[in-house]
Structure 1
Amino acid sequence: MPTYSALTTLPGEAPATDLAAAMEQMEPAPTGVGVFEIEDGSGLWEVGAYFDDAPAETDLALLAAAFGAKPFTVSELPEIDWVAKVKRELAPVEAGRFFVYGSHDADRVPEGRIALMIEAAMAFGTGHHGTTLGCLRALDALDRQGIACHNVADIGCGTAVLAMAAASIWPEPVIASDIDAVAVEVAEANTRVNGLEGRVECLEAVGFAHPRIAEKAPFDLVFANILMGPLIALAPDMGRNVAPGGRVILSGILNEQAETVINAYRGEGFVVETRQEIGEWSTLTLILPQ
């Protein structure tokens, strides 16, 4: 059975949220509605919905006009087994010593690598995205320089691939936290699959706001692979929760956004150590001088 998508953009979070709520009342009702900020500095938000039956274009035109949105683009999506497609197309990722793979590629793990299995269905944080890959490479670079971090946190951990990578090379347990309860469940499942139970402690938390994180601070390495806005909002807490001489590895940053993020962290005393670009994404390694 075909699936139909309807997508539009409009300025502002509140109008986008209101439009999404109005779309949920449509007939036929959508099977899902999403609201996303477009991280290009334009201030635009994307509102999209999926339908089992083709939505009435007149209804969509009225909604777009009522909320000041661009005309909807309606598409019929092909019938695809997306998990099977991901398994076919997502080859293992190599980032220095790290080898990130799905269970379907278990027979391709080379000797002498630190292997981390992330299921293909768990799309964000598999290592294929330039942000995760950049963070893994930055971690590998620290390790190759002989830098050992003994107290590590992964804020906004997603699949916990970064926390697991750190726990695989250094002996002390790593904190992995996420604002999303489902992400925390995924992180816990991944630690079990990779034999890292007890080595990665998974928590549901907003930023550093958790008693266990406060107990463990200050950290000598913090990952934050999220987005520019949350990274800037976290900068003061980073300054308070990173030990002198400690580092942060930041990503989820478009190349043109990197200087804005750097300036926010300079204001908290951080200094740029390295900056790498993979496609349109930047990864920053910053140090808090002693």
Structure 2
Amino acid sequence: MSSTLSPATHRASFALRDEQAARRMVDILSEIFFEDEAAIAASERPDGRWDVAVHFADAPDQALVRELVGNAAGEGIAHAIGFDTIEAKDWVKASLEDLIPVPAGRFVVHGHHDRGRVPANKIGIEIEAALAFGTGHHGTTRGCLLLLDYVLKARHPARVLDLGTGTGVLAIAAAKALHEPVLASDIDPPSVKLTRENAGLNETGNWVRVIRAAGFSAPQFAAQGPFDLVLANILANPLRQLAGSMARHLAPSARVILSGLLTHQAPGVVAAYRARSLVPVRHLAIEGWSSLLLRYTR
């Protein structure tokens, strides 16, 4: 796997009162900045407060960063942001060193440095070259993994799709648990490449097939469907727009796990899918984010 080494790293850093505030800030910033723009990490200080550090590949717009942080945490925090330039390093790896293994049901998402900390009765998912949004530290990823664990206690879906795979966490989790082929898709070429690398890292390269596609436009969806289980950790608006296409690619009684939506957006997404004969089964809310499990009634 290639190293993400830049000539210099530009950093914005500030402190928040507690872990909840820090995790919420990481979630917000992860939604705003793309993976090739910034690496975001939070770590606890000896005094109980939490530091948030945002590592940028290029010099950031400081006024914009202050505005974004100020909107979420107040002008006082925004005014206290420190900006500096640090030595060349693998800034993605640096951001992950502050992250601890994250359990989610039978799954544990971890980095290379914590490979030995995965319990023997758990399924480890090693994700190295990724940011907090795709490693399991984001509430949407944890929610999806918990719902996947719930589904797999009662069902063994043979045809699985991870739509908008990102880093491949969900596809890898399903492949490791089921030992069945999983189709993973993303519109973003770097995400397709990264998912292939992570699938190989987790010895699921023979199970996880990764394609570049927008929505359900590629012929592989029809060829490998209809699907018994679909995982889609995207965003609320695309999820609503994909409801019709999703339903057309589902097998009878299929299960669908949706996330990437704020809690207040969940009713609108549920309504869009209910209109296509998908009814809600479970709703998890984690750190302000919703994850939905739906059942296809046709």
TM-score relative to the length of structure 1: 0.74
- Contact 1:232–1:265 (8 Å) recurs in 2: yes
- 2:95 partner SS: helix
CA distance in 2, matches of 1:84, 1:195: 21
Deviations 1:45-75 (A, max 9, x none): xxx99538x98x9xx9xxxxxxxxxxxx896
Deviations 1:58-103 (A, max 9, x none): xx9xxxxxxxxxxxx8965234564354233210010111011100
Deviations 1:3-27 (A, max 9, x none): 488xxxxxxxxxxxxxxxxxxxxxx
1:228 paired residue number: 236
Structure 2 vs 1, CA of residues 272 and 121 (structure 1 numbering), >3 Å: closer, same or farther? closer
2:47 paired residue number: none
- 1:172 partner SS: coil
CA distance in 2, matches of 1:177, 1:87: 24
Could you tell me which runs of 5 or more consecutive residues in structure 2 were left unpaired when the two chains were aligned.
Answer: 1-7, 13-35, 39-55, 65-77
1:207 is aligned to 2:215: yes
CA distance in 1, matches of 2:120, 2:37: 44
- Contact 1:100–1:116 (8 Å) recurs in 2: yes
AA partner of residue 186 (structure 2) = D
Q: Offset of 1:200 from its aligned partner?
A: 0.4
Aligned length: 234
AA partner of residue 110 (structure 2) = Y
1:141 is aligned to 2:147: no
1:276 is aligned to 2:267: no
2:116 paired residue number: 107
Deviations 1:176-208 (A, max 9, x none): 000001100000000111111110000000011
1:98 paired residue number: 107
1:263 paired residue number: 271
Structure 2 vs 1, CA of residues 77 and 120 (structure 1 numbering), >3 Å: closer, same or farther? farther
Structure 2 vs 1, CA of residues 242 and 251 (structure 1 numbering), >3 Å: closer, same or farther? same
1:65 paired residue number: none
- 1:183 partner SS: helix
1:153 paired residue number: 161
AA partner of residue 196 (structure 1) = T
* CA RMSD between the two structures: 2.7
Structure 2 vs 1, CA of residues 162 and 258 (structure 1 numbering), >3 Å: closer, same or farther? same
- 1:197 partner SS: coil
- Contact 1:120–1:126 (8 Å) recurs in 2: no
1:174 is aligned to 2:175: no
1:78 paired residue number: 84
Counting aligned pairs with the same residue, the percent is 44
- Contact 1:2–1:76 (8 Å) recurs in 2: no
Q: Offset of 1:166 from its aligned partner?
A: 0.7
Q: Offset of 1:169 from its aligned partner?
A: 1.5
- 1:185 partner SS: helix
Larger Rg: 1
Deviations 1:127-158 (A, max 9, x none): 110000000000001122x2111100000000
Deviations 1:210-267 (A, max 9, x none): 1111111210110110000100010000110111200110000100000000001011
- 1:265 partner SS: helix
Structure 2 vs 1, CA of residues 216 and 4 (structure 1 numbering), >3 Å: closer, same or farther? closer
AA partner of residue 83 (structure 1) = V
AA partner of residue 225 (structure 2) = A
1:130 is aligned to 2:139: yes
- 1:253 partner SS: strand
AA partner of residue 277 (structure 1) = A
Could you tell me which runs of 5 or more consecutive residues in structure 1 were left unpaired when the two chains were aligned.
Answer: 6-31, 35-47, 61-72
Structure 2 vs 1, CA of residues 2 and 262 (structure 1 numbering), >3 Å: closer, same or farther? closer
Structure 2 vs 1, CA of residues 49 and 202 (structure 1 numbering), >3 Å: closer, same or farther? closer
1:218 is aligned to 2:226: yes
